[in-house]
Amino acid sequence: MAIIKKVFLVALAFLLICCSKKSITDKRKILVVMPKNGYEEVLNGFKEAIYEEGMNDKVDLIIQNSGITKDDFVAISKIINSSDVDIIVTVTTPVTLALYENVKNKPIVFSAVGDPISAGLAKDLKNSKKNITGVTNLSRMLTKKRMEVFKNAFPFMKKIITFYNPENVFSLLAVKDLSEISEKLNIKLEKVECLNTDNILATLKNIKKGSYDGVFIIPDPVVLSAFTDIINISNEFSMPVCVHEESYISKGATISYGIDLKEVGKHSFALVKLILQGSSPEQLPIFVPEKISLVVNNRWAKEKGYKVPNELLYLADRVVE
Amino acid sequence: MKNIRESKIAKKLFLIMLLVCLSSVTILSFIQSYSSYEDGKRVAENYQREVLDAIVKEIKDHQFLIQKLMELSSHSRGVLEDGINEKFRFYLWKIMKHQPYVFEVVVVDTTGREILVASKIRTENVVDYQDLAKEDFFQQSIAGKVYYSNIRYEFDATKPYFVISVPVYKFDGTINAVLISKIWFSEIQKSLSQKKIGTTGYAFILDVNKRVIAHQKLDVVFKYTTAGNISQELDSFVDKAIKNPGHYFQVSYVDSENNSVFATLKNLKELNWIVVVVQKKSEIFIGTLRTITSFLAISGIVVLMVFFVVRKLSANFSLPIIKLNDLAEKISNGDFSTKINIKTKDEIEELANNFNEMTEKLKKSYDEMEGKIQERTKELLLLYSFTSAISRSLRVHETLKSAGDELVAVLELEGYTGVLYKDGIWDIDNAVYGFIEEEKYKSLWDEVVKRGIVLHILSHHVPYVMNLSVEKIEISNGNNQIKSIAIFPILYQGNLIGVMLLYSSYENFFQSGILSSIETCMIQLGVAIANAERYEYTENLSFKDPLTKLFNRRYFETKLEQEFARCERYNRELSLSMIDIDFFKKINDTYGHQVGDEILKQLAQIILKSIRKSDIAGRYGGEEFIVLMPETSPKKAYIALERLRKIVEGHAFAIDVPPGYLHITISIGLAGYVQSMTKKEELIELADKALYTAKNSGRNRVCL
pLDDT greater than 80 at residue B8: no
The verdict on B123 touching A (C-beta cutoff 8 Å) is yes
* Residue B232 near residue B81 (C-beta atoms within 8 A): no
Q: Nearest residue on chain A to B95, judged by CA atoms?
A: A315
Strand partners, B467: B484
Q: How far away is chain A from the Cα of B308, in angstroms, using its nearest Cα?
A: 13
Q: Nearest residue on chain A to B158, judged by CA atoms?
A: A126
The verdict on B222 touching A (C-beta cutoff 8 Å) is yes
**Residue of B671, B676, B677 lying closest to B635 (CA atoms):** B671
Element (H, E) at B57: helix B8-74
Element (H, E) at B50: helix B8-74
**Residue of B25, B43, B23 lying closest to B287 (CA atoms):** B43
Determine how many CB atoms are found less than 10 A away from the CB of residue B38. 11
Annotate A220-265 with DSSP letters as a single string.
-HHHHHTHHHHHHHHHHTT--EEESSGGGTTTT-SEEEEE-HHHHH
Is B158 in contact with A290 (Cβ distance < 8 A)?
Answer: no
Instruction: Kindly give the pairing relationship between strand A318-320 and strand B152-154.
Output: unpaired
Residues 176-195 on A with a CB inside 8 Å of B are 181, 184-185
In B152-194, beta strands by DSSP E? 152-154, 159-169, 175-184
Task: Name the average pLDDT for chain A.
Answer: 85
Q: How far away is chain A from the Cα of B277, in angstroms, using its nearest Cα?
A: 22
* DSSP-assigned letter for residue A128: B
pLDDT: which is higher, A161 or A129: A161
Q: Which pLDDT belongs to residue B5?
A: 63
Is B219 in contact with A311 (Cβ distance < 8 A)?
Answer: no
Q: Nearest residue on chain B to A279, judged by CA atoms?
A: B222
Please state, in angstroms and rounded to a whole number, the distance separating the CA atoms of residues B362 and B234: 87
The verdict on A10 touching B (C-beta cutoff 8 Å) is no
Q: Which pLDDT belongs to residue B6?
A: 67
Please state, in angstroms and rounded to a whole number, the distance separating the CA atoms of residues B314 and A35: 84
- Residues of chain A with C-beta less than 8 angstroms from the C-beta of B159: 288, 290
Q: Which pLDDT belongs to residue A21?
A: 42
Is A290 in contact with B184 (Cβ distance < 8 A)?
Answer: yes
**Residue of B676, B576, B658 lying closest to B624 (CA atoms):** B576
pLDDT greater than 60 at residue A14: no
- Residues of chain A with C-beta less than 8 angstroms from the C-beta of B219: 267, 270
Model confidence at A8, pLDDT cuts 50, 70, 90, reads: very low
Q: Mutate one of A118, A290, A292 to test the B interface: name it (highest B CB count within 10 A).
A: A290
Instruction: Kindly give the pairing relationship between strand B661-662 and strand B475-477.
Output: unpaired
Q: Which of B623, B631, B649, B682 is catalytic?
A: B623
* Residue B107 near residue B92 (C-beta atoms within 8 A): yes
Please state, in angstroms and rounded to a whole number, the distance separating the CA atoms of residues A275 and A256: 32
Q: How far away is chain A from the Cα of B307, in angstroms, using its nearest Cα?
A: 12
What's the pLDDT tens digit per position in B602-629?
Answer: 989 898 888 887 888 888 888 889 998 9
Please state, in angstroms and rounded to a whole number, the distance separating the CA atoms of residues B536 and B555: 16
Q: Is B598 a catalytic residue?
A: no
**Residue of B155, B675, B182 lying closest to A122 (CA atoms):** B155
Q: Which pLDDT belongs to residue A22?
A: 40
Is B97 in contact with A315 (Cβ distance < 8 A)?
Answer: yes
pLDDT greater than 70 at residue A151: yes
Please state, in angstroms and rounded to a whole number, the distance separating the CA atoms of residues B604 and A66: 175
Q: Helix or strand or coil: residue B229?
A: helix
Residues 143-182 on B with a CB inside 8 Å of A are 155-159
Instruction: Please report how many Cα atoms fall inside a 13 Å half-sphere around the Cα of residue B228, on the Cβ side.
Output: 7
Model confidence at A182, pLDDT cuts 50, 70, 90, reads: very high
Model confidence at A188, pLDDT cuts 50, 70, 90, reads: very high
Percent over 70 (pLDDT), chain B = 96
Please state, in angstroms and rounded to a whole number, the distance separating the CA atoms of residues B502 and B386: 15
Model confidence at A232, pLDDT cuts 50, 70, 90, reads: very high
Is A267 in contact with B120 (Cβ distance < 8 A)?
Answer: no
Please state, in angstroms and rounded to a whole number, the distance separating the CA atoms of residues A73 and B344: 95
pLDDT, average across residues B299-315: 83
pLDDT, average across residues A132-139: 86
The verdict on A264 touching B (C-beta cutoff 8 Å) is no
pLDDT greater than 70 at residue B494: yes
Q: Nearest residue on chain A to B92, judged by CA atoms?
A: A315
What's the pLDDT tens digit per position in B345-385?
Answer: 888 888 888 888 888 888 888 889 888 888 788 778 888 88
Instruction: Report the b/e string of B583-612 with b at 16+ CB within 10 A.
Output: ebeebbeebeeebbebbbebbbeebeebbe
Query: Rounded to the nearest 10 degrees, what angle do helices B453-460 and B438-450 cross at?
Result: 70
- Residues of chain B with C-beta less than 8 angstroms from the C-beta of A274: 220
Q: Give me the phi and psi of B85, to 5 degrees please.
A: -130, 120
The verdict on A313 touching B (C-beta cutoff 8 Å) is no
* Residue B601 near residue B548 (C-beta atoms within 8 A): yes
Q: Nearest residue on chain A to B96, judged by CA atoms?
A: A315
Residues 99-138 on A with a CB inside 8 Å of B are 117, 124-126, 138
The verdict on A284 touching B (C-beta cutoff 8 Å) is yes
Residues 6+ apart with CB under 8 A from A300: A240, A252, A254, A320
* Residue B110 near residue B176 (C-beta atoms within 8 A): yes
Residue B699, phi-psi category: left (phi > 0), alpha (psi -120 to 50), beta (remainder) = left
pLDDT greater than 60 at residue B1: no
Q: Nearest residue on chain B to A184, judged by CA atoms?
A: B126
Please state, in angstroms and rounded to a whole number, the distance separating the CA atoms of residues A147 and A279: 38
Q: How far away is chain A from the Cα of B77, in angstroms, using its nearest Cα?
A: 18
Please state, in angstroms and rounded to a whole number, the distance separating the CA atoms of residues B657 and B672: 40
Question: Which one of B96, B97, B222 has the shortest CB-CB distance to A285?
Answer: B222
The verdict on B186 touching A (C-beta cutoff 8 Å) is yes
Element (H, E) at A112: strand A108-113
Residues 6+ apart with CB under 8 A from B647: B606, B610
pLDDT greater than 70 at residue B79: no
pTM: 0.57
Is A145 in contact with B120 (Cβ distance < 8 A)?
Answer: yes
CA distances from B531 to A172, B534, B546 (A): 166, 5, 21
Q: Which pLDDT belongs to residue B82?
A: 58
What's the pLDDT tens digit per position in B555-612?
Answer: 888 888 888 888 888 888 889 999 999 888 888 888 888 888 888 889 898 988 888 8
Q: Which pLDDT belongs to residue B353?
A: 87
Q: Which pLDDT belongs to residue B219?
A: 60
pLDDT greater than 90 at residue A110: yes
What's the pLDDT tens digit per position in B171-216?
Answer: 777 888 888 999 988 778 778 878 888 888 888 888 888 888 888 8
Model confidence at A104, pLDDT cuts 50, 70, 90, reads: confident
What's the pLDDT tens digit per position in B446-466?
Answer: 888 888 888 888 889 889 988
**Residue of B231, B249, B251 lying closest to B241 (CA atoms):** B249
**Total length of chain B:** 704
* DSSP-assigned letter for residue A283: G
Please state, in angstroms and rounded to a whole number, the distance separating the CA atoms of residues B334 and B357: 16
CA distances from B549 to A129, A138, B543, B598, B602 (A): 165, 175, 9, 12, 10
CB contacts < 8 A (A, B): 71
Q: Which pLDDT belongs to residue A16?
A: 42
Task: Name the average pLDDT for chain B.
Answer: 84
Q: Which pLDDT belongs to residue B221?
A: 54
Which value, in Å, is the radius of gyration of the alpha carbons in chain B? 75
The verdict on A243 touching B (C-beta cutoff 8 Å) is no
